[in-house]
C-alpha cells in the first residue's frame, strides 16, 4: 500500500496551511486530493497549485481513481492525502485504502450543522460517518495546525 503519511479532512482542500505548514510538519512530497468535483476541474486545480511550493507535487483524483491507483504509488512518494468530507474518507476506507489516522482540520458551518469546535461543524450524517470510521479503527484527531493540541473527534460529537 502507498506511503500515506497523513490524511486530512478539510473542505478547503489545498490552501496555505495544508501546502506549507502540514507538508513541512509531516515531510510529504506529494499532496493527493481525492475529490470527484476537483478532479474534473482544471481551474480549481490551478488555483490550489498556486499555494503549493514547487518542490511538492500535486495529484487530483476522483475517489474511485484514488482507490484504484494509490497502491501503485512509488516508494519515494510520501503522500499527504486530502479530502473534503468524512463521507469521502469513508468511501476510501471501505474501498480498501489503508488509512489509520486522520486529521480533521476544517469543516465549515452551514445550515443544519452544529459547531463542535471553532473549525469543525457537523450534522447527523457527519456524526454517523465518524462513528463508522471509528468502528473501522480510524483514529481521528481534530487540529488546525500541527503545534495545536489535538482532540479526539469522538469526544466532541
For the chain, helix, strand, coil in percent to 5 are 35, 25, 35
15 is catalytic: yes
Q: Which residues of the chain have pLDDT under 70?
A: 1
Domain that holds residue 9: 4-155
From 12, 15, 25, 132, active-site residue? 15
Domain count, the chain: 1
The grid cell for 75 is 516508494
For cell 469521502, name the residue: 88
Give the per-residue pLDDT at 9: 98
Measured distance CA(103)–CA(126) in Å, rounded: 15
Contact status, residue 122 vs residue 113, Cβ threshold 8 Å? yes
Among 86, 141, 134, residue whose Cα is nearest residue 151: 141
Give residue 129's pLDDT. 98
How much is the pTM? 0.95
pLDDT at 1: 61
> What CATH number does residue 44 fall under?
3.40.35.10
Amino acid at each position: 500500500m502507498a506511503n500515506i503519511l497523513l490524511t486530512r479532512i478539510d473542505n478547503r482542500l489545498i490552501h496555505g496551511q495544508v501546502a506549507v505548514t502540514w507538508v513541512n510538519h509531516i515531510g510529504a512530497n506529494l499532496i493527493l486530493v481525492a475529490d470527484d468535483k476537483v478532479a474534473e476541474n482544471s481551474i480549481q486545480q490551478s488555483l490550489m497549485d498556486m499555494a503549493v511550493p514547487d518542490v511538492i507535487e500535486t495529484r487530483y483524483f476522483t475517489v474511485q481513481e484514488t482507490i484504484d491507483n494509490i497502491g501503485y504509488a512509488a516508494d519515494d512518494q510520501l503522500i499527504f492525502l486530502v479530502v473534503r468530507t468524512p463521507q469521502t474518507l469513508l468511501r476510501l476506507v471501505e474501498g480498501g485504502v489503508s488509512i489509520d489516522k486522520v486529521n480533521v482540520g476544517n469543516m465549515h458551518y452551514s445550515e443544519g450543522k452544529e459547531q463542535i469546535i471553532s473549525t469543525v461543524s457537523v450534522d447527523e450524517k457527519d456524526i454517523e460517518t465518524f462513528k463508522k470510521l471509528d468502528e473501522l479503527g480510524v483514529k481521528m484527531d481534530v487540529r488546525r495546525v500541527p503545534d495545536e493540541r489535538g482532540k479526539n473527534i469522538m469526544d466532541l460529537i
